[in-house]
């Protein structure tokens, strides 16, 4: 008779999920300004896939979370989908990352797609969305729009734009001409809003820049892309740092100013959702003066809108 041997049987090791992009397939081409539907299928043999994150060129563009009541049986195929609304022209590599109910991770194989460039296609973003009216002996705090083109860069490209909003061109800020020239060899140009000092307490004012069609006979021609407009803000006073959870301020025209505390010079990704389950990346922006501002033009389209902030490496356009 042998001596007894004591053993301990621990819990089974969690198996990671599996995930794959089933649509689009590699080699698919899309026209510009088109929402790209990404469909992924995942399975977890010993549980469920609770979250899938969508990436383009290594940058997160969306997230879908699932909750099952009552709990779902393990080992069932789950389908996740996301529409990428902000794809820029050119090639892109799509991937997705799955997280199961025990926090194990898995990546999909990459899928290579292309958004076609039919012609010169400018887009516009508000790179620094907040400016402050200067005071005596104070440094001017500016806001910056950036207009980018896709396609050939061998010649200069003059892009027409209009200015709207509650702030008046030439009255509340230095006059802007309505034309921006992108020099040969460069992909983008800055349009800087420089506020004037005055004694009026006007609150926060908006500057809305919109890309316009080229004039008749203008050469080279171009076609405005998406997004074709962006919003910047002018304030009488520096904005106090936002609370830890962020702040949101309603603006004229159905706009919302979303403000987070943020370290100056750090690039961040802003995500938005209306249901706290499905998130979409809506903007990349730099922190400045202890805060980051994002003007949401779509806020009025939702009964509820939630935002969150995450550090993000600077996009190629910003490097």
Output the CA torsion sign for 294, 297, 300, 303. Answer: negative
Contact 256, 227 (CB under 8 A): no
Whether the Cβ atoms of residue 211 and residue 147 lie closer than 8 Å to each other: yes
Strand-pairing partners, residue 162, are 210
d(CA 129, CA 78): 40
* 47 vs 99: CA distance, rounded Å: 11
CATH architecture label of 119-223: Sandwich (2.60)
**Coil, strand or helix: which one is 15?**
coil
4: how many CB neighbours lie within 10 A of its CB? 5
pLDDT in tens, the chain (319 residues): 778 887 766 677 889 999 999 999 999 999 888 899 999 999 999 999 999 999 999 999 999 998 887 778 899 999 999 999 989 888 999 999 999 999 999 999 999 999 987 677 777 676 667 777 776 556 678 888 989 888 888 889 999 999 999 899 999 999 999 999 999 999 899 999 998 877 666 678 889 999 999 888 888 888 888 788 888 888 876 654 556 667 777 777 778 888 888 887 788 888 999 999 999 998 887 776 677 888 888 888 888 889 998 888 766 544 4
Edge-to-edge strands, sheet with 255-261? 247-251, 255-261, 291-296
Rg (CA), the chain: 24
Cα within 13 Å of Cα(308), Cβ side: 11
Domain ranges of the chain: 18-115, 119-223
Q: What is the pLDDT of residue 318?
A: 42
Q: What CATH number belongs to 18-115?
A: 2.60.40.10
pLDDT, residue 128, reads: 66
User: Strands 229-235 and 130-132: what pairing?
Assistant: parallel
At residue 254, the 3 state secondary structure works out as helix
* Sequence-ordered list of residues with C-beta below 8 angstroms from that of 3, at least 6 positions apart, any chain: none
pLDDT confidence of residue 274: 92
């Amino acid at each position: 008779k042998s001596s007894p041997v004591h053993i301990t049987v621990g819990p089974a090791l969690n198996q990671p999920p599996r995930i794959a992009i089933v649509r689009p397939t590699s080699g698919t081409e899309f026209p510009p300004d088109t929402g790209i539907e990404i469909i992924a299928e995942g399975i977890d043999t010993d549980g469920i896939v609770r979250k899938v994150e969508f990436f383009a060129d290594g940058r997160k563009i969306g997230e879908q979370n699932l909750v099952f009541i009552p709990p779902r049986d393990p080992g069932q195929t789950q389908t996740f989908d996301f529409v990428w609304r902000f794809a820029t022209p050119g090639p892109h590599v799509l991937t997705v990352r799955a997280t199961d109910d025990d926090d194990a991770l898995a990546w999909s194989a990459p899928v290579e797609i292309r958004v076609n460039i039919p012609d010169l296609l400018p887009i516009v973003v508000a790179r620094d969305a907040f400016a402050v009216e200067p005071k005596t002996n104070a440094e001017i705090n500016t806001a910056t729009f950036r207009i980018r083109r896709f396609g050939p860069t061998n010649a200069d490209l003059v892009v027409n734009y209009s200015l709207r909003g509650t702030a008046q061109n030439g009255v509340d800020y230095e006059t802007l001409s309505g034309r921006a020239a992108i020099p040969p060899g460069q992909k983008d140009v800055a349009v800087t809003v420089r506020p004037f000092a005055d004694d009026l307490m006007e609150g926060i004012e908006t500057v809305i820049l919109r890309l316009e069609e080229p004039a008749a006979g203008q050469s080279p021609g171009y076609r405005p892309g998406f997004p074709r407009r962006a919003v910047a803000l002018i304030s009488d006073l520096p904005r106090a740092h936002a609370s830890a959870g962020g702040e949101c301020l309603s603006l004229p025209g159905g706009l919302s100013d979303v403000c987070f505390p943020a370290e100056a010079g750090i690039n961040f990704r802003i995500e938005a959702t209306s249901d706290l389950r499905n998130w979409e990346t809506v903007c990349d922006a730099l922190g400045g003066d202890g805060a980051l501002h994002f003007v949401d033009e779509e806020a009025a389209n939702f009964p509820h809108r939630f935002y969150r902030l995450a550090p993000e490496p600077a996009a190629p356009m910003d490097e």
